[in-house]
Amino acid sequence: MSDKAILEVNGEKHEFPLITGTENEVAIDVKALRGSTKGVITLDPGYKNTGSCESAITFLDGEKGILRYRGYSIEELAEKADFLEVAYLLIFGELPNQEQLDKFHADIKSHSIVDDDVKKILDAFPKAAHPMGVLSSLTSALTAFNPSSVNVDSEEDMYNAIVRILGKFPVLVAWTMRKKHGLPLEYGDDSLGYVENVLKMMFKSPNKDYEQNDILVNALDKLLILHADHEQNCSTSTVRITGSSHAGLFVSLSAGISALWGPLHGGANQAVLEMLEAIKEDGGDTKKYMAKAKDKSDPFRLMGFGHRVYKNFDPRAKIIKVAADEVLGDLGVEDPILDIAKGLEKEALEDPYFVDRKLYPNVDFYSGIIYRAMGIPVEMFTVMFALGRLPGWIAQWKEMRMRKEPIGRPRQLYTGETLRPFTSIENR
């Protein structure tokens, strides 16, 4: 294959290098485009064809349904690793040995106290506030309570910032839920594993001993692993671009949380459940909603279907579908919502509208069903996604800063008014 691409603009030929990644993906390096063409840019709203960076963290092939973190398949990681090992792998590039993992966990635990004054900020939110807004605000507020800036050239500084946020974030996650439910705020239990501790902080009742449920721990561990990174999606790109101005780690993460909130991204898991509930309330007629999804004059979309990059199947959805059946079976949950979900899935997989557009169930089609069976309230679903995505965001932020990437600043094609004289107010 040639190692260059040739572009002809106004009869003049320009050559651009082709860059090949380790999985033989090819990119045209257009860094010199504006200079050599005297001002011509590429236009790609939604970045469907645009690579924003080189990255060695996550590989995915949407056509083949492949997802790998640092070269390890998601299937193997979901089966054999735990969430903290995966977090370490994503952030530092290699699986930890036992000693490294123990130290990592101990360091995270030593940073898991959130300044008590953060509770005052939390108190000021109305109970009706969406937990994602609260989580984004509190994550940003942590900057004020831990003001030391990160010297990205110091491994120690970087490490400290990472364990600090990994320690404090689950506390904030639990607090957003407890606040909404009027429960006293917990600080967690140092004797527990990372995921066990999250569940205890969320669910411990003030007047009862907490009993750990291994089914829930394993299910949450798997869900968090499946959500831990997904290369340059909307929230991750937001984290990278925010950090590219040299804004700190915590505020970059806060920006990512806001981006994740939207129903076309992380908010989809909440939207799926709300959609399934609405179908149930409306008599459970899945065909009616299939027709609505296909009707171009109707804004309704089948939430949990389709993906920007997976155009055959979402490998995470395959793993999670099996997990959903297991968890519901183990917990003895009979959920009519699951029957509606299965009905929709079957119809969509056979329907030419969905088949032609390669619209398959994505990870969030099933994750909400598991969260619901675990007793996690619907408005917390996207917060759980954020908890899972945290190591991925951290890894991507760290990579971006360590590679000394330039500030993210896209161009535009201006289509507004050309120069016109000012009209004074009495003449308008």
Tell me which residues in 366-395 interact with ligand ACO (CB under 6 A). Answer: none
The SS3 call for residue 114 is coil
Our CB check for ligand ACO shows the closer of 201 and 303 to be: 303
From 307, 314, 339, 356, the catalytic residue: 307
Our CB check for ligand ACO shows the closer of 170 and 306 to be: 306
CA–CA distance, 169 with 388 (Å, rounded to integer)? 11
CA–CA distance, 320 with 327 (Å, rounded to integer)? 10
The answer to whether 308 contacts ligand ACO (rule: CB under 6 A) is yes
Our CB check for ligand ACO shows the closer of 117 and 282 to be: 282
- Which residue among 142, 199, 228, 303 contacts ligand ACO (CB under 6 A)? 303
How far CA 260 is from CA of 25, 188, 236, in Å, comes to 27, 26, 9
Our CB check for ligand ACO shows the closer of 203 and 289 to be: 289
| Least distance in angstroms from the C-beta of 384 to ligand ACO | 12
The answer to whether 345 contacts ligand ACO (rule: CB under 6 A) is no
The answer to whether 290 contacts ligand ACO (rule: CB under 6 A) is no
Closest CA to 356 of 344, 348, 364: 348
Our CB check for ligand ACO shows the closer of 261 and 305 to be: 305
The answer to whether 307 contacts ligand ACO (rule: CB under 6 A) is yes
The answer to whether 400 contacts ligand ACO (rule: CB under 6 A) is no
Tell me which residues in 103-122 interact with ligand ACO (CB under 6 A). Answer: none
The answer to whether 357 contacts ligand ACO (rule: CB under 6 A) is yes
CA–CA distance, 263 with 259 (Å, rounded to integer)? 10
| Least distance in angstroms from the C-beta of 382 to ligand ACO | 10
Q: Which stretch binds ligand ACO (CB under 6 A): 19-27, 61-69, 306-314, 396-404?
A: 306-314
Q: Which residues pair with 58 in a beta bridge?
A: 69
Our CB check for ligand ACO shows the closer of 180 and 307 to be: 307
How far CA 242 is from CA of 29, 139, 164, 308, 409, in Å, comes to 23, 14, 20, 22, 10
Q: What is the CA radius of gyration of the chain?
A: 23
The answer to whether 293 contacts ligand ACO (rule: CB under 6 A) is yes
The answer to whether 319 contacts ligand ACO (rule: CB under 6 A) is no
- Which residue among 14, 119, 265, 318 contacts ligand ACO (CB under 6 A)? 265
| Least distance in angstroms from the C-beta of 306 to ligand ACO | 2
Closest CA to 367 of 237, 259, 228: 228
Look up 356 and say whether it is catalytic: no
135-145 exposure pattern, b = at least 16 Cβ within 10 A, e = fewer = bbbbbbbbbee
Which strand (E) or helix (H) includes residue 116?
none
The answer to whether 364 contacts ligand ACO (rule: CB under 6 A) is yes
The answer to whether 34 contacts ligand ACO (rule: CB under 6 A) is no
CA–CA distance, 230 with 7 (Å, rounded to integer)? 32
- Which residue among 304, 315, 388, 392 contacts ligand ACO (CB under 6 A)? 304
CA–CA distance, 60 with 70 (Å, rounded to integer)? 11
How far CA 151 is from CA of 88, 140, 161, 409, in Å, comes to 20, 18, 10, 23
Phi-psi region of 7 (alpha: psi -120 to 50; beta: other; left: phi over 0): beta
Write phi, then psi, for 238 (nearest 5 degrees). -65, -45
The answer to whether 306 contacts ligand ACO (rule: CB under 6 A) is yes
- Which residue among 201, 279, 337, 359 contacts ligand ACO (CB under 6 A)? 359
Which residue number is nearest to ligand ACO in terms of Cβ?
Answer: 306
Number of alpha carbons in the 13 Å side-chain half-sphere of residue 82: 13
Our CB check for ligand ACO shows the closer of 169 and 310 to be: 310
CA–CA distance, 267 with 109 (Å, rounded to integer)? 29
- Which residue among 177, 268, 319, 337 contacts ligand ACO (CB under 6 A)? 268
| Least distance in angstroms from the C-beta of 220 to ligand ACO | 17
Look up 307 and say whether it is catalytic: yes
- Specify the pairing of strand 66-69 against strand 58-61: antiparallel
Q: Which residues pair with 72 in a beta bridge?
A: 69
The answer to whether 311 contacts ligand ACO (rule: CB under 6 A) is no
The catalytic site residues sit at 307, 364
What is the binding site for ligand ACO (CB under 6 A)? Answer: 264-266, 268, 293, 301-308, 357, 359, 362-364
